[in-house]
Structure 1
Amino acid sequence: MAIVAVGTEIVQCARIAQMIQQHGEQFLERVFTAAEIDHCAQRPDATGHFSRRWAAKQAVFKALRCHRRGVSWTDIEIATHPSEGPTIELHGIAADLAEEAEIDAIHLSLGGCRTQAIAYVVLCD
């Protein structure tokens, strides 16, 4: 297994909070899947959870180099599995691009504090 690409992103949590305040459900539904919205909304630090997922999606966009290739935000889903922690599930065009690039594994690391969220993604073949 070799590393094919990496992507990283850091975001100010206040920026995501502002987007949620200004655009509400429209922003949430454009960027996050229903499962992601449900997961984050149930957390005491919902903004932090949304921010980390936003950062993870941005990191995937960078690693796949797919910003202008028709990939929607919801084609990249940050799923949470109790025994594994957060994982990346690709759908639609994002999944097609990963398959074309022969990506067999995607590794994700999330972190943050009250003010910032960070994500690091490693794509492997």
Structure 2
Amino acid sequence: MIIGLGSDLCNIERIQQSLDRFGDRFVERVFTPVEQAKAARRPYTRAGTLAKRFAAKEAYSKAVGTGFKAGVFMKDIGVVNAPSGAPTLALTGGAAARLAAITPPGHKAVVHLTMTDDHPWAQAFVVIEAIALDLSHSGEGDTA
């Protein structure tokens, strides 16, 4: 079942203006080391790379229903790549706690993320799915 849905549209030029004005202070405050390294490897599209990740953070905060309140901070939401290469989110702190709080008992949460950009726009969608755990093989009721 879907327990959260969020989207965001981010202007790449606005991110470039923040980079020009605040430099590393902006980057350090908002982006994880993994995200910073990814953007550094893309010097010609650095602002677009960061804008997509900014949009993903916003989309997640909407999907969990808090925005950036209730302990959910931007730096607790990091875009990483799964072994397949698909983008997903690594969550820590309040972002992880909020996901745990909205996940129904007996379920595990799976976060789906898609991002795209076409200058001057970057966009992200987050879908949070709750999957029922199979408790029939948990060993409960088994006797030795």
TM-score range, shorter chain: over 0.9
**What are the equivalent positions in structure 2 for 1:31-70 lying under 5 Å apart?**
31-43=30-42, 44-66=44-66, 67-70=68-71
Kindly report structure 1 stretches of 4+ aligned residues shifted beyond 6 Å. none
- Write the deviation string for residues 1-33 of structure 1: whole angstroms up to 9, x where unpaired: x01110000011000000111111110011001
- The Cα RMSD (Å) is 1.2
The answer for unaligned runs of 5 or more in structure 1 is: none
Which among 99, 113, 119 is matched to residue 118 of structure 2?
113
Q: Matched residues in 2 for 1:80 and 1:107: separation?
A: 12
**Which of these two proteins has the greater Rg computed from alpha carbons?**
2
Mapped pair 1:100 → 2:105:
no
Q: What is the TM-score when the length of structure 1 is the normalising length?
A: 0.93
Q: Distance in 2 between matches of 1:5 and 1:104?
A: 10
Cα gap change, 1:82/1:124 in structure 2, threshold over 3 Å: closer, same or farther? closer
Q: Is the 8 A contact 2:12 2:122 kept in 1?
A: yes
Give, as a single letter, the amino acid of the residue that structure 1 aligns with 2:56: A
Deviates more, 1:72-81 or 1:113-122: 72-81
- Structure 2 distance, partners of 1:118, 1:25, is 23
Query: Shift of residue 82 of structure 1?
Result: 5.4
Greater Cα offset, 51-60 or 65-74: 65-74
Identity %: 33
Match of 2:78 in 1: 77
Q: Which secondary structure state, in structure 2, belongs to the residue aligned with residue 111 of structure 1?
A: strand
Relative to structure 1, the CA distance from residue 124 to residue 82 in structure 2 (aligned partners, 3 Å threshold; closer, same or farther) is: closer
Question: Structure 2: 5+ residue runs without aligned partners?
Answer: 131-144
